[in-house]
Amino acid sequence: MEDDFYATIKFKNGEEIFCKVSACEENDRTFLLVSNPITVGEVKGRSGTMGYKLEPWLKTTTEDMLIVNFEDILTMSESSDIEMIVMYQNYVRTVQNKNNSNNHKISKEMGYISSVNDAKDILEKLYRSK
C-alpha cells in the first residue's frame, strides 16, 4: 500500500471526482481506495462572482471509504492545489461533524410535543367538533 494523496479522477463514463486516494494491489489487480469522494461544480453569482459547489459523489451512502477498480479510470491527476485541498478538508470535516451531531434536543420550534394518547384525544375532539 502506498501513501495517501489527493487526486482528481476522471472515469471512462465521464464522471469526475476529487478525493484522497490510496492504491492497493490484490491478486494481480490494482484498486484505489478513495476517501470521501466529492464532485465539484462551478457556481456563478449574480454579481459575476465565481464559487464552487462541493457534493458527495454517491448521495445514497454514508460510507467514507470506497473501492474503485483501476480499469474504470480514464485518467488520474495528483493534486497539489492548496485551495482545493483546503476546501475538500473543510467539506469532510463539516460532513463528519454533521454525522456525529445526531443528538438533537427537542424544542417547541420542532412542533407540538405530546404523548400518543394525548394527540389521539385532541384529534378525536377536533374530528367530532366538525
Residue 17 binned pLDDT confidence (cut-offs 50, 70, 90): very high
Which CATH code, of 3.90.420.10, 1.10.10.10, 2.30.30.100, 1.20.1260.10, is assigned to 5-101? 2.30.30.100
Residue 113 binned pLDDT confidence (cut-offs 50, 70, 90): low
- pTM score of the predicted model: 0.69
* DSSP code of residue 75: E
Coil, strand, or helix at residue 101?
A: coil
- Statement: residue 116 has pLDDT above 70: yes
For 62-104, what is each residue's pLDDT tens digit? 888 999 988 899 999 999 999 999 999 999 998 887 766 655 6
Say how far apart CA 104 and CA 115 lie, in whole Å: 19
Q: What is the pLDDT of residue 12?
A: 95
Q: Is the CB of residue 67 less than 8 Å from the CB of residue 85?
A: no
For 36-54, what is each residue's pLDDT tens digit? 999 999 888 888 888 888 9
